[in-house]
Amino acid sequence: MTAERRYFGTDGVRGRVGEPPITPDFIMKLGWAAGRVLGRSGRGKVLIGKDTRISGYMFESALEAGLSAAGVDIHLLGPMPTPGVAYLTRTFRAQAGIVISASHNPFEDNGIKFFSGEGTKLPDEVELEIEDELDQAMTTVASSELGKAHRVEDAAGRYIEFCKSTFGNGHSLRGLKLVVDCANGATYHIAPAVFTELGAEVHAIGTRPDGLNINEECGATAPRRLAEEVTRSGADLGIAFDGDGDRVIMVDHAGEIVDGDELLFIIARERQRRRAGDQAVVGTQMSNLGLEHAVRTLGLEFYRARVGDRYILEMLREGGWQLGGEGSGHIICLDLNSTGDGIVSALQVLGAIVDSGQPLHELKQGMRKYPQRLINVELSERVDLETLPPVQAALAGVEAELGDRGRVLLRPSGTEPVVRVMVEGQDAAQVETLARQLADAVTAAIAS
């Protein structure tokens, strides 16, 4: 077995459409290889969902062909948020679920990610088995054994009912006016229905996907339009999802953005009030220091995983905990769904608003955010920063100046060709200066 992944990253296989490995022929063989591995325990079924980018149709057909050639039945969900695919994979007792999505990336990108039959990310060893199978010549089972394809007509309705069930019996959103931004992505036909059916007055934006406008100046990665719409319409708050629906960012009535760290704190505090039995919250290396301090005031431990929901999930399972997330809006409530779920997470925050009678603007005050500056330095190729003495010297200098009054993090992205430079501290001007100083050092070292 190969010792190192060649195609799978931290979130499946992802890249620019038309460039290897995100090509129709490779995706067909990926479907075949996955079918061969997943089908070893007997003939079963695999669910396929996708977001709204135009290439999704092409890759859905490619996966369908590959899986069928391997003798695996396919159930097509159509446009479906990533957490919806995870949920339906469990309820259908499928062998696996596949999502065709590049999440928050622009439409020119796409990717394939897999869920196990339990609705969790595939174990590393299974991904490696699939990569090994990709080295084999593609074959086709006998015609009588070819996989059959079925379209699941009520997939959206099933997931809508699941989301509503996480809000609690007897609860209602009556009296709340919400602006919901679906990023022209996979939640466009689901999120507005969830909040409307729970009683809210909903003004939906980003619900007209055309295959090219997913995440384009909208959604969780660009909430400015949502903030403008909230203040213009006099709404109580706004909710923004990303293209595949596993992230959520909110905007309060004053148009102020409430990020994933603040939402995670609100949910943790509400769960403590309800005596949910949580002992810890898991964030990441990028989580704001203010979140760590606020969580500890609740009597909870706070742990930092590597950046990425995959690693948050791993730490939650290892510790036997339920709640984790990151500032980008990936929030995981493991007792509700097996992966990060933007709609479900939003409902937990709305539950806190309804039960407390306090607006979002007030609820977020329990956490004081430290000034934080993140700069992405673009790379032409991957580099090992630890082998660059000027970068290490600059890093040591910034850490020495911050002392115990802040944090610095320097790491390559797992999904983009960039190095992330993050500096956090008590003084905003100092944070900005030090972040720029370190980013400049990285840029100069890479160029030399």
What are the residue numbers of the active site?
103
> Which residues face 116 on adjacent strands?
96
C-alpha distances (whole Å) from 299 to each of 50, 273, 279, 443 are 40, 12, 8, 42
C-alpha distances (whole Å) from 318 to each of 127, 187, 272, 338 are 20, 31, 21, 14
To which H or E segment does residue 96 belong?
A: strand 96-100
Strands 280-284 and 301-305, bridge-based pairing: parallel
What is the rounded distance in angstroms from the CA atom of residue 106 to the CA atom of residue 53?
A: 9
DSSP 370: P
Tokens 């909040």 belong to residue: 195
What is the rounded distance in angstroms from the CA atom of residue 164 to the CA atom of residue 194?
A: 6
- Residue 76 in contact with residue 60, Cβ under 8 Å? yes
- Sheet with strand 323-325: strands edge to edge: 301-305, 280-284, 323-325, 331-333
What is the rounded distance in angstroms from the CA atom of residue 192 to the CA atom of residue 186?
A: 12
What is the rounded distance in angstroms from the CA atom of residue 85 to the CA atom of residue 34?
A: 17
What is the rounded distance in angstroms from the CA atom of residue 287 to the CA atom of residue 314?
A: 17
Q: By CB neighbour count within 10 A (0-12 exposed, 13-18 middle, 19+ buried), where does 326 fall? A: buried
DSSP labels, 220-272: TT-THHHHHHHHHHT-SEEEEE-TTSSBEEEEETTS-EE-HHHHHHHHHHHHH
Round the CA-based radius of gyration of the chain to a whole number and report it. Answer: 22
Alpha-carbon torsion, ordered 120, 283, 301, 398, to 10 deg: 150
Contact partners, residue 210, CB within 8 Å, separation at least 6: 184
- Residue 46 in contact with residue 73, Cβ under 8 Å? yes
Give the tokens for residue 78.
């159509």
Give the tokens for residue 320.
């036997």
